[in-house]
Structure 1
Amino acid sequence: MTTSQCEGIHSLIKNYISKTCYLLELIHNFNEVLTQYRTNELLSDFKSLFTTPVLPTCLQDIEKQATDIFARSMFKEVWCEIEEAGKLNVVTHSVSNNEVKVRINKYRQPGREYKVQYDKITKKFACDCRLFESRGIPCCHIFYIMRHDHIDIIPDTLVCTRRTKNAKKDYVCSVTSAEIDSENIAGIRYDALATLCFTLCESASKNRDDFMEIRDDIFGLIQKLKKRRDPDSKVLSNACMVGDPTVVKTKGA
């Protein structure tokens, strides 16, 4: 976790917790913080999955790929770096075998230079500003070199997994040891399942046959979980489930 992320969490918690509150009040307020944090996380996931930002810069191919890769909160920072790349100029550009070395300065700031180098084979980039190492996103200097050398695809070496839309899918594991408190991990599992359900509902609701199939499958999973927790429970019929209304012909007067 980066320093900026810790500062963001601290700024959220300080609105609910004070040094004069009692222990019971502290626990209650801390639970409120966790609830708000999880809600914000769900909203962020929803925006990443179901909204598409406007692409105003000239590097629309790179922007479009960035929207597909990065989570919405991180795409805002990536977009700022892409826009900032338009203010940069090349001072020197040299190629030795497969290694490219470039010195860059900024418009109206000729005295401040940055060195960027990358390998044409491995597609590994390195910049003096070290934004990628600290923040996990490509810097404006790298985006400028991509534009200058006609690189229209963000290489995998510039994609930090923890900043992508699939970060939860890759890192959240549903299998935990017995020592971990189930209540602590349940919130993380809930967020991960809710994100997947958003995508499922979006696709299944557009077609009647898909809706009926997914509805029956979900009903079966619910009954399976209930039966697993309580073997003596009665299995409900899906005849009373909500579906599309039955269309009938009206009788004439």
Structure 2
Amino acid sequence: MTIGRHADIDLQGIVKTYRMGGETVTTLRGVCLRVYRGEFLAIVGPSGSGKSTLMNIIGCLDTPSQGKYIIDGHDTSRLNDNRLAEIRNRKIGFIFQSFHLLSQLTAVENVELPLIYRGVAAKQRREMALRALTQMGLGERINHKPPELSGGQQQRVAIARALAGNPPILLADEPTGALDRKTGIEVLAIMRELHAKGHTIVLITHDPNVADSAQRVVRITDGELMEERGEGRAAEPGVEDGVEEHLGQ
């Protein structure tokens, strides 16, 4: 996949602080990061490193204490809550470790949810949801509810939901964390396929073996970023074997 020069994500000197009791805690320390259109980036770090805070800011779920965040040309500091919600709905597809599916809804109804919030007409959103589920190999499971699906199938529904509105950016938070070895490998293969089709992907993980699926890897430690593998470098031969071995542990 050729990386475009347009920065879908541009973080400029991002600082995030919280008040905890009588103390100020800093979780991000001057983070600068550009993710270019069509890039597959992994952000890897252990628990407490700041990666969840960074994910929330990238996903417009939180705002920085200092610095500037520009997403697809939009300066988030200039946007009110409604505009930020619109950016989340139209620009970002979210894929979570715990799927975040509604158990009382069918697969197709779960995929339709973000399209309802976008105001897409019923017939069109059903068509979009069916297309996304078919793309994920779930054409025969559209009327099944999450408890009737395997973990891998539920994650595929979650990916279909993220894809249904064709957002330019996919933000995946530990997408293999709740899956067995075989299914985890399949999900990573799906991520690579989506990248090949032109999506900008940011993968958040604690696992460097999973991060190896990305073109570029940055490590976050104590709220600071360090480039670990440079832009444009594809995963090396044998990476899938390494991932498989690790996920099997």
TM-score (normalizing by structure 2) = 0.25
Say which structure is richer in helix.
1
Say which structure is richer in strand.
2
TM-score (normalizing by structure 1) = 0.25
* Structure showing greater relative contact order (alpha-carbon pairs closer than 8 Å, 6 or more residues apart): 2
Larger radius of gyration: 1
